[in-house]
Amino acid sequence: MIRSEILARVFSRHGPPIAVLTAYDALTAQLALAGGADALLVGDSLGTTVQGHSDTHAVTLEQMCYHTEIVARCAGQTPVIADLPIGTYATPDQARNSARQLMEAGAWAVKFEGNPGGVAAALVAEGIPVMGHLGLLPQTTTSFKVHGRDAEEARRVLQDAVQLRDQGAFALVLECVPDALADSVQAYLDIPVIGIGAGRSPHGQVLVIYDLLQVPPRSRWPRFVPTRYPAGGDFLLGIIRTWVGEVRSGAYPQDGESYG
């Protein structure tokens, strides 16, 4: 089956809800795949989760290509979507050049934030599948809060969603919006909406894999992170602390843990 057919099958509103996880390297890709994720998103969230920055602004196209290549190498027949980082899609021509590089690195599709004039249409015309991203836009927001509460903001989100659909986007990420707005967007579109902090109405959900695993441990998580699951960060931290303690006490290595 060719990639376009797989992409259409996975991102269908007629199938089961779609589970998407971010992946940045071989470890996160393999974990997400083993867990049954339907698609992998090489997110520019790697700026915060991998590089240790406070935002995604430092992420370059070259870095996105590097991480996309790694994830694609592990993904097999699972779709890989790659983010266009900030400053790489200001115009249709720039977007085409940037998206081509990500596709050459192994992406099946690209995602960008907002609705920059003519960009989605230009990429689709080039044969590059496009996933939109509306609501809270991490690349440019100055306030990490719920977006679309007031009527005008909600109207713009819905208008942009319809325009992206009309330009040929195959799916749309909707981040941190009220349930009612997500309901409206999902009702207007005939393409799947993938939510993150957008309630139950979207036909799929996406999470940063480190948020899902609660790694590293922290005292507060966004509301949409399911903290009712086991906290992977606490579990891993316990293993590390135990090993460090055994090294310091001389209990490690034990018999059978060295070559006699």
Beta-carbon contacts of 200 under 8 Å, excluding residues fewer than 6 positions away, are 179
What is the full per-residue pLDDT of the chain (260 aa) written as tens digits?
Answer: 799 999 999 999 999 999 999 999 999 999 999 999 999 999 999 999 999 999 999 999 999 999 999 999 999 999 999 999 999 999 999 999 999 999 999 999 999 999 999 999 999 999 999 999 999 999 999 888 899 999 999 999 999 999 999 999 999 999 999 999 999 999 999 999 999 999 999 999 999 999 999 999 998 999 999 999 999 999 999 999 999 999 999 999 999 999 97
Residue bearing tokens 């009527």: 151
How far apart are the C-alpha atoms of 162 and 169, rounded to whole Å?
Answer: 10
CATH class of 3-229: alpha beta
Q: What is the pLDDT of residue 144?
A: 84
How far apart are the C-alpha atoms of 90 and 220, rounded to whole Å?
Answer: 34
Q: Exactly one of 69, 126, 152, 175 is catalytic; name it.
A: 175
Q: What is the pLDDT of residue 260?
A: 78
Q: What is the pLDDT of residue 143?
A: 81
Residue bearing tokens 């939510």: 195
How far apart are the C-alpha atoms of 94 and 89, rounded to whole Å?
Answer: 5
Q: What is the pLDDT of residue 142?
A: 84
Q: What is the pLDDT of residue 250?
A: 97
Q: What is the pLDDT of residue 174?
A: 98
Active site residue 175: yes
Q: Where are the domains of the chain?
A: 3-229, 231-260
Q: What is the pLDDT of residue 54?
A: 94
Alpha carbon 115 to its chain centroid, in Å, reads 18
Is residue 87 left, alpha or beta, with left meaning phi > 0 and alpha meaning psi from -120 to 50? left
pTM reported for the whole predicted model: 0.96
Nearest 5 degrees, angle CA 56-CA 148-CA 95? 40
- 25: amino acid identity, one letter: D
Q: What is the pLDDT of residue 206?
A: 98
How far apart are the C-alpha atoms of 47 and 149, rounded to whole Å?
Answer: 28
